[in-house]
Amino acid sequence: MKRIILFLSFILCFGQLAFTQMTAVKQANDLYAKGDYSNAAKQYEKILSNDGVAPEIYFNLGNAYYKSNEIGHSILNYERALRLSPSFEDARVNLELAQQKVVDNIVPSPTFFIGRWIENLIKLMTSNQWLFISFGVFIFCLISIFLFIFGPTHSSRKIAFNFAIVLLGISFFTLIFAGVRKGQMYNHSEAIVMAGVISVKSSPDKSGTDLFQLHEGAKVTIKSTLGNWTEIKLSNGGIGWVEKTNIEQI
């Protein structure tokens, strides 16, 4: 009897939490529909803080900030939505629209096309999705091994053996992709410039030489931190120091 009561209490509590979250999302969506983008953004931020992260909420928050012309915040949240759901096409499209408003035109340093292709391929899926693919391919690999051992003819065993080798290779590499993607998710070092315009210094000090400027929405990679200063690197190879409060990690 006690177990039944505990189970019913859990179901009731879970249902109440789900209803509360749905109500909060509806309120935020209503504010957005009315054109009250600032308060809609605050409501979405509250949902993320109280109920946990979700790509759809980050996407909606990015839209609210974009409508408020807060480009840095909009790019930040589109990027966060894509970190959680790489195949979120609406977030990708809106991110590209927001990036068109960034003043800085940072041309990435040329990289070997194979490395760039592999990096983009890894980012197409989450670590769990890559792991699922690796496991599924490995199952087919085991089936091929079984057919190789018990195949009725020499030619069928040969085909099964070749398939097993190929599938084992795919399973191995997708498992590596899962590990790399997990590292990107939890040890990411990319950040967005949140201030309107900042000066990148040659040293972690306000008296340091100004190397170049960055504007709101620019994407950087964090190399190291020292006190209130962060060393950043751009995709074109530029390196310098900025105050930590001027950027926010994705």
With respect to residue 197, please indicate whether it lies within any of the assigned structural domains: yes
Q: Do 24 and 95 reside in the same domain of the chain? A: yes
* Digit-coded pLDDT (tens) for 195-236: 999 999 999 999 999 999 999 999 999 999 999 999 999 988
pLDDT at 177 over 90: yes
Instruction: Identify the band that residue 97 occupies on the pLDDT scale cut at 50, 70 and 90.
Output: very high
Number of folded domains in the chain? 3
With respect to residue 229, please indicate whether it lies within any of the assigned structural domains: yes
With respect to residue 34, please indicate whether it lies within any of the assigned structural domains: yes
Q: Which residue has the higher pLDDT, 14 or 228?
A: 228
What average pLDDT does the structure give for the chain? Answer: 87
* Digit-coded pLDDT (tens) for 109-139: 666 667 778 888 888 888 889 999 999 999 9
- The CATH number for 38's domain is 1.25.40.10
pLDDT at 8 over 50: no
Angle 55-67/89-99 helices, nearest 10 degrees? 30
In terms of DSSP H, where are the helices of the chain? 2-33, 37-51, 55-67, 71-84, 89-99, 113-122, 127-150, 154-186
Q: Do 91 and 170 reside in the same domain of the chain? A: no
With respect to residue 106, please indicate whether it lies within any of the assigned structural domains: no
Beta pairing partners, 241: 201, 231
Check if the beta carbon of residue 250 is closer than 8 Å to that of residue 191: yes
Q: How far apart are CA 153 and CA 143, in angstroms?
A: 16
Q: Do 10 and 76 reside in the same domain of the chain? A: yes
Check if the beta carbon of residue 109 is closer than 8 Å to that of residue 237: yes
With respect to residue 104, please indicate whether it lies within any of the assigned structural domains: no
Instruction: Identify the band that residue 70 occupies on the pLDDT scale cut at 50, 70 and 90.
Output: very high
126: left (phi over 0), alpha (psi -120 to 50) or beta: beta
With respect to residue 44, please indicate whether it lies within any of the assigned structural domains: yes
Q: Do 89 and 174 reside in the same domain of the chain? A: no
> What pLDDT, on a 0 to 100 scale, did the predictor assign at position 237?
87
* Digit-coded pLDDT (tens) for 18-47: 555 678 889 999 999 999 999 999 999 999
Beta pairing partners, 214: 198
Q: Do 177 and 196 reside in the same domain of the chain? A: no
- Cβ count near 55 (within 10 Å): 20
Q: Do 211 and 178 reside in the same domain of the chain? A: no
Q: Do 120 and 156 reside in the same domain of the chain? A: yes
Q: Do 11 and 94 reside in the same domain of the chain? A: yes
> What pLDDT, on a 0 to 100 scale, did the predictor assign at position 7?
46
> What pLDDT, on a 0 to 100 scale, did the predictor assign at position 235?
87
With respect to residue 221, please indicate whether it lies within any of the assigned structural domains: yes
With respect to residue 88, please indicate whether it lies within any of the assigned structural domains: yes
Q: How far apart are CA 250 and CA 244, in angstroms?
A: 13
Q: Which domain holds residue 220?
A: 190-249
Check if the beta carbon of residue 127 is closer than 8 Å to that of residue 178: yes
Q: Do 196 and 182 reside in the same domain of the chain? A: no
Check if the beta carbon of residue 211 is closer than 8 Å to that of residue 231: no
φ and ψ at 107, to 5 degrees? -90, 115
> What pLDDT, on a 0 to 100 scale, did the predictor assign at position 186?
75
pLDDT at 12 over 70: no
Q: Do 23 and 60 reside in the same domain of the chain? A: yes
- Give the closest residue to 199 by CA, choosing from 227, 226, 238: 238
pTM attached to this predicted model: 0.75
Q: Do 203 and 175 reside in the same domain of the chain? A: no
